[in-house]
């Protein structure tokens, strides 16, 4: 069975860039956020979310993710409720995906909330991607149609870099991508993953 590398980092840290680099090295990568978006389109998940958050977050039988984000990233209790609906569905989806990649030496599970979800306990190795706060904010503002306040709400709903680093096996500082890739190559050598 494949060993699982948990890859995490706060919003804007560049963990998806790191995940893409790992994928380019032929290591299977599961992006939990993409899986979450996919499972949130399932009718039974939409119904469960509608039941908890009301009809205001539904437009043309689809979730209005922006409205939902506005609610959950301001209120930790609401975020817990949403996660209690979505996380079990993502867990099942990952089990199916892992089964398809069971012959790989290692696979990567990328998630911003690896620690918050408790999922990290299921993995063999944890890598955390870090970047300075202002760099992270600038990246998200450039990437998403959002405000600084909304980015800070999301950052504040997640663990701090210090909390993540304390529980991680490896830390990748992602300020300059060339140096970050070099660090990953070093980690892969330590893990003896053939490139």
Q: Does residue 144 sit within a domain?
A: yes
Mean pLDDT in residue range 185-193: 89
Check whether 12 is labelled as a binding-site residue. yes
Residue 124 belongs to some domain of the structure = yes
Per-residue model confidence (pLDDT) at position 177: 94
Average pLDDT, the chain: 92
Supply 82's token pair. 């949403």
17 annotated among ligand-binding-site residues: yes
Residue 77: CB atoms within 10 Å: 7
Q: What is the pLDDT of residue 2?
A: 87
For residue 55, is it within any domain? Answer: yes
Asked whether residue 190 carries a pLDDT value surpassing 50, the answer given is: yes
Q: 15: annotated binding-site residue?
A: yes
pLDDT (average), residues 11-37: 95
pLDDT at 195 over 60: no
How far apart (Å, rounded) are the C-alpha atoms in residues 60 and 66? Answer: 15
The answer as to whether 159 is a domain residue is: yes
Q: Is 13 annotated as a binding residue?
A: yes
pLDDT tens digits, 25-78 = 999 999 998 999 999 999 999 999 999 999 889 888 888 888 898 898 888 899
195 assigned to some structural domain: no
**Is 111 known as a binding-site position?**
no
Question: What element of type H or E holds 63?
Answer: strand 62-63
**Does the pLDDT at position 145 exceed 90?**
no
Domain span at 184? 3-190
What domain count does the chain have? Answer: 1
* Interacting residues of 46 by C-beta distance below 8 A, sequence separation 6+: 40, 58, 61, 62, 63
> What pLDDT score does 131 carry?
96
State pTM to two decimals. Answer: 0.87
- pLDDT at residue 193, rounded to an integer: 66
Say which CATH number the domain at 147 has: 3.40.50.300
With respect to residue 170, please indicate whether it lies within any of the assigned structural domains: yes
Higher pLDDT: 70 or 6? It is 6
For residue 73, which of 11, 141, 135 has the smallest C-alpha distance?
A: 11
């Amino acid at each position: 069975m494949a060993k699982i590398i948990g890859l995490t980092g706060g919003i804007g840290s560049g963990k998806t860039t790191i995940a893409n680099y790992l994928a380019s090295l032929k290591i299977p990568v599961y992006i939990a956020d993409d899986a979450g978006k996919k499972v949130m389109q399932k009718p039974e998940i939409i119904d469960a979310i509608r039941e908890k958050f009301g009809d205001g977050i539904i437009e043309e039988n689809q979730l209005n993710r922006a409205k939902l984000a506005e609610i959950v990233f301001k209120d930790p209790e609401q975020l817990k409720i949403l996660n209690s609906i979505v996380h079990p569905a993502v867990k099942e989806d990952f089990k199916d995906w892992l089964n398809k990649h069971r012959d790989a030496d290692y696979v990567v599970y990328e998630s911003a909330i690896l620690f918050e979800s408790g999922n990290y306990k299921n993995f063999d190795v944890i890598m955390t991607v870090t970047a300075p706060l202002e760099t992270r904010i600038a990246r998200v503002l450039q990437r998403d149609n959002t405000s600084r306040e909304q980015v800070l709400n999301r950052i504040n709903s997640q663990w701090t870099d210090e909390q993540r680093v304390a529980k991680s096996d490896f830390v990748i500082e992602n300020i300059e991508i060339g140096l970050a890739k070099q660090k990953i190559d070093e980690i892969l050598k330590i893990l003896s993953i053939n490139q």
